[in-house]
Amino acid sequence: MAVETNPTALAAKPWDPAAAHGSRRERMRNALNFLPVDRPPMWLMRQAGRCLPEYRALRQKHSFRQLIRTPELAAEVTLQPVRRFGFDAAILFSDILVVPEAMGQGFRFQDGGGVQMESLVRDLSDIQKLCENGVAERLQYVAAALEMIKRDLDGRVALLGFAGSPWTLANFMLEGGSAKRFVKAGELFRRDRRAYDLLAAKLTAAVTEFLQMQIARGVDAVQIFDSLGGDLPAAEFEAASGQWMEKIVTKLNRHAPVIVYSKGTRAWDALARTGANVIGIDHGIALAEAERRLPRDTGLQGNLDPALLTAAEPATVAAETRLLLEQMRDRNGYIFNLGHGVPPQAKMENLEALAATVQNFV
Ligand code: CP3
């Protein structure tokens, strides 16, 4: 399939100091490993996707499913935001729900937005039917996309892999798709711990195998999205989510740095115990406050409020970005990001202001 790619467009923009100070990949890898950097590296959750006109154009021709399952297209969409904004890292274009799908529970997108799982997982017998073995084999289209992306990035820009956390995936699987409030995973956790633990253990095995495959294909780090972690009371976080992420981090055995992003979670000790190199911080708390709660040698990632990208003016975005950079000045292990994903309605001029502010920070 012919997809227009222009590798030379990956070269740094005139105002990107990366041109003068080593590669963007090196900057990202240094921050991931808690080493000094010239300025914090930057990438944004959901940097690829509907906020970009070039993504929307491709989406006119292909379904989301085609985009993520066709390596050429997944690679192209992954690279789009890197070309446009000169980010220090690319994140694989895919979705957390490809893992449940590879275990036997498919998904599809609803016309009005949101996702729907194609079958229901309700009880122990449904959970027993899920197949966690051979997940990486069934996700070979991801391996192929990673290979193409690596070739295009050519060592200049870092590449991130990812997966959903067992708790967050369990919520989508038991709820049967998107929901205003996710309640069924919490109910199962409290009512039938044996069934919940079996599901979490199967997801832990599947996610571990999937991330190992991504690491073998050369990603520079992996992020675990525990986007629903904050739905848990702090007292339940470790048992329902934290311990499973800890098992994944332990099994990955430092073959690549791990970023744990657990949105809304304030169970700091349990977050630290996951063993993640970097903890992603949402915008519901001051970064300096999160820093005080975590061990000193923990990397931090975050946490500009994504709403600024739709509602504010570029000058405000630049000022708020600079405020975060000043707070984290001279701190090793800081990676600039939003507190959650880029909203589809984000204004291009705001993303440009953000990128330029980080890239020109001295
Ligand atoms: O960050 C990136 O740029 C990489 C790509 C990425 C997507 N989804 C693409 C996507 C990543 C990392 C995800 C993770 C993901 N997927 C999460 C966790 C992260 C978070 O935001 O908290 C979750 C909960 C999902 C599940 C999911 N995917 C839902 C509920 C939906 C439907 C709602 C929606 O936003 O449309 C998706 C769809 C989805 N995933 C899109 C994209 C670009 C939109 C697809 C389209 O219509 O083009």
Ligand 1 center–CA 356 separation, angstroms: 25
2 pLDDT above the threshold of 80? no
Q: Is the CB of 56 under 6 A from ligand 1?
A: no
Q: Is the CB of 87 under 6 A from ligand 1?
A: no
Ligand 1 atom closest to Cα of residue 225: 18
What percentage of residues in the chain have a pLDDT greater than 70?
94
Cβ atoms of residues 163 and 211 within 8 Å: yes
Ligand 1 atom closest to Cα of residue 68: 9
168 pLDDT above the threshold of 50? yes
Q: Average pLDDT of the chain? A: 94
- Any idea how long the chain is? 362
Ligand 1 center–CA 46 separation, angstroms: 7
Which residue stretches of the chain are H helix? 24-32, 53-61, 64-69, 71-85, 98-102, 124-129, 135-138, 140-153, 166-175, 184-191, 193-216, 234-237, 243-252, 268-273, 287-293, 308-311, 314-327, 348-359
Which residue has tokens 């490809």?
Answer: 98
How close are the terminal C-alpha atoms of the chain, in Å? Answer: 43
Give the pTM. 0.93
Ligand 1 center–CA 17 separation, angstroms: 31
pLDDT band at 210 (very low <50, low <70, confident <90, very high): very high
229 pLDDT above the threshold of 90? yes
300 pLDDT above the threshold of 70? yes
Q: Which two tokens stand for residue 53?
A: 């006109």
